[in-house]
Amino acid sequence: MAIDESTHCITLPTKFCKITATTDEMIHKVFPNIAQNCKSHQWLSERAILAAKNNYVNTINFSIQNEIPGKATTYKSIDTVMNQDEVVNYPTEFLNSLDLPGIPQHMLTMKIGVPIILLRSINPP
C-alpha cells in the first residue's frame, strides 16, 4: 500500500483482493475448513468479511454459522415503551422490526465457537 503525495490517495496492490463468483465461494476462501479451524483463536483473528449492509452481514453470518458444528441459541431483545401512554404509537412488533445502524437486531443467533466482533460497549461505565 502506498500514498500518492500529490493526490493523497492510497494505492492498493494489484493483488489486494480476489474476485469470487458467489458469496459461498467468498466464505470458503476467507474461512477455509472453518468446521476444523474454528477452535483456533489465532486463525479466526486473521480473518474477517466486511459488508456494506446489515442484510448482507446477516446472510453471511447465517452461512458461516451453518458450517460450524454445535447447537445454535437465539437471544431476543426486550423492547418496551417507558411511557405506557405511548404503547399505542410504538407497538412491540414495530420496535422488534427496526434494523437500525448501531443497534443490534431483535433476534441474535449464536453458537459456541462462532467468531463475533464487539464494535463498542453497549453498557459503558
pLDDT in tens, 23-78: 999 999 999 998 899 888 899 888 888 888 878 888 898 899 998 889 999 998 87
Partners of 75 in the beta sheet? 108
Beta strands in the chain (DSSP E): 2-3, 10-11, 73-76, 107-110
What's the predicted TM-score (pTM) here? 0.65
pLDDT at residue 25, rounded to an integer: 94
Please state the domain extents for the chain: 18-110
pLDDT at residue 85, rounded to an integer: 80
DSSP 3-state of 100: coil
Handedness of CA 9, 13, 40, 107 (dihedral sign): positive
The pLDDT tens digits for 32-47 are: 998 899 888 899 888 8
pLDDT at residue 114, rounded to an integer: 79
DSSP 3-state of 70: coil
